[in-house]
Amino acid sequence: MSSAAGAAREADAALEQGLLEVLLSDHGAAGPYEAYRWLRERAPRLRTGSGLVVLSGYEDCAAALRDRALGKADESLGFALAAVPEQLQRRALRRFRRTMLFRNPPDHGRLRRLVAQVFTPRHVEELRPSVVARIDELLDGWAGRDEVDAVADLALPLPVGVIGDLLGVPGSDLVATAPRVRALVAPLEPSADVDAVREAAEAEDELAAYFADLLEVKRRRPDDDLLSRLATAHGDDRLDDDEMVGTAILLFAAGFETTTNLVGNGLAALLAAPEQRHRLAGDPGLVATAVDELLRFDAPVQTDGRTALADTRIGDLDIPAGQVVLLLLGAANHDPAVFTRPSELDVGRREAPPLSFGGGLHFCLGASLARLEAAELFPRLLSRFPHLTPAGPPRWRRALSFRGLDQLPLRPGREDPGRGSLDSPAAAVAR
């Protein structure tokens, strides 16, 4: 072997080892961004020895999200790194894979059409008063307390309650049902092992049984909610049983998992950058750019997967049909070719939109609702509790694809309730 060939092989091995460190490391509070930078600088378009293509630049990831030749299939089967039997992997997300999240046209449009009307900007705007009321109620619970957990006491119950109301899930069922979602999405992590995938299969079975029963109740006694719409649809809009149950699980899971991470990650970022926190508190009109920046800075969803449905090309890289492509959205959001000083939080940043909600045909259906919740929450929280401080180190989940916190202990400090009751700055921006 020539010295040049040997050096090339060593370089390839180093790149693949670097990729493994990105995907498998417990990145904790610092996040995976330094590892992303290392990989993006050396191989922004990486084809591994196993054939997986990994993209980490903003323009490449944005192009891949828009490319209709790159669709959805069983991508998690293509980039899972642990030795998980394929039969178990398929069983874990059997119903989930019947949803719009994993489907291509024309099925994608059929599955999405029935629920998309509920997430239009007009309908989401109508939810603003109830979202604000829920935020105020949760913050009322902080008053007078020496310590709170921002995840358990705010970031989780806010979106769980909002999506529960929208779907028509009884409030008494939310506490028991929501924790199974975290187990359910584990197979979407590149590092998912056998135990995690087995627990996901059990979680899906439990959630499916619950939603099948609830949908039957809605079919007999429909109400003004989204599950009733699913249960009573007729003609071309009607879904089969697995599609209906899978869609109910998807809407419930997507309705809070991403928003919980957005609120927790965003609050942790603001606490770590006090000048930006005070800037936002002093100028609530920055809320729209601030939410975009928090989505970019520490994205609640860090990865996405695609499968080539036909031969295509990204930059100078040929992607044959059947090729699995892993998009490192968190790396794209920190690409210095697009974002000035990407490692710094800037709540007034006006550059490219973050890719945290995906893009193209599979752009997150609930993005506008998640933005509304965050836009109402952060100014009200910072205004009402201006002396908020950490009460201990945050505890991060050991996960990459769904990056978020398990705990964020805080001391609320002295309350300023008068400021918290002012007219909604986010609503003023929307108007």
Summarize pLDDT for 161-194 with one digit per residue, the tens: 999 999 999 999 998 898 888 889 888 888 788 8
Which is more confidently placed, 97 or 10?
97
93: closest CA among 110, 105, 80, 112? 80
Paired tokens of 39: 């990989």
**Lowest pLDDT segment from 72-76, 186-190, 268-272, 341-345:** 72-76
40: closest CA among 68, 59, 24? 59
Q: What is the pLDDT of residue 90?
A: 76
Q: What is the pLDDT of residue 429?
A: 44
Q: Please, which pLDDT band fits residue 24 given cuts at 50, 70 and 90? A: confident
CA distances from 106 to 110, 141, 157, 233, 346 (A): 7, 47, 35, 18, 41
User: Residue 43: which H helix or E strand, with range?
Assistant: none
Q: What is the pLDDT of residue 428?
A: 45
The stretch 36-65 carries a mean pLDDT of 94
The stretch 54-80 carries a mean pLDDT of 85
Summarize pLDDT for 381-392 with one digit per residue, the tens: 999 999 999 999
Backbone φ and ψ for 65, nearest 5 degrees, come out as: -65, -30
Most confident of 107-111, 219-223, 230-234, 420-424: 219-223
Q: Rounded to whole angstroms, how far apart are CA atoms 97 and 85?
A: 17
Indicate the angle between helix axes 274-282 and 367-384, nearest 10 degrees.
90
Considering the entire predicted model, what is its pTM?
0.92
Q: Is it the case that residue 418 has pLDDT exceeding 80? A: no
Residues β-bridged to residue 46:
54
**Lowest pLDDT segment from 154-158, 227-231, 413-417:** 413-417
Contact status, residue 121 vs residue 430, Cβ threshold 8 Å: no
Q: In sequence order, which residues have a C-beta less than 8 Å from that of residue 1 and are 6 or more positions away?
A: 9
Q: Rounded to whole angstroms, how far apart are CA atoms 161 and 138?
A: 11
Residue 117 gets the label, from left (phi > 0), alpha (psi -120 to 50) or beta, of alpha
Q: What number of CA atoms fall less than 13 Å from residue 428's CA on the CB side?
A: 10
Summarize pLDDT for 127-146 with one digit per residue, the tens: 999 999 999 999 999 999 99
Q: What is the pLDDT of residue 430?
A: 46
Q: Please, which pLDDT band fits residue 414 given cuts at 50, 70 and 90? A: confident
Q: Is it the case that residue 341 has pLDDT exceeding 80? A: yes
Q: Is it the case that residue 117 has pLDDT exceeding 80? A: yes
The stretch 302-317 carries a mean pLDDT of 95
Contact status, residue 110 vs residue 236, Cβ threshold 8 Å: yes
Q: What is the pLDDT of residue 307?
A: 93
* Residue type present at position 24: L
Coil, strand or helix at 325: strand
Domains of the chain: 3-430 (1.10.630.10)
Backbone φ and ψ for 47, nearest 5 degrees, come out as: -110, 115
Q: State the chain's mean pLDDT as an integer.
A: 90
**Lowest pLDDT segment from 193-202, 317-326, 390-399:** 193-202
Summarize pLDDT for 95-111 with one digit per residue, the tens: 888 889 889 999 999 98
Q: Rounded to whole angstroms, how far apart are CA atoms 168 and 248?
A: 11
Q: Is it the case that residue 79 has pLDDT exceeding 60? A: no
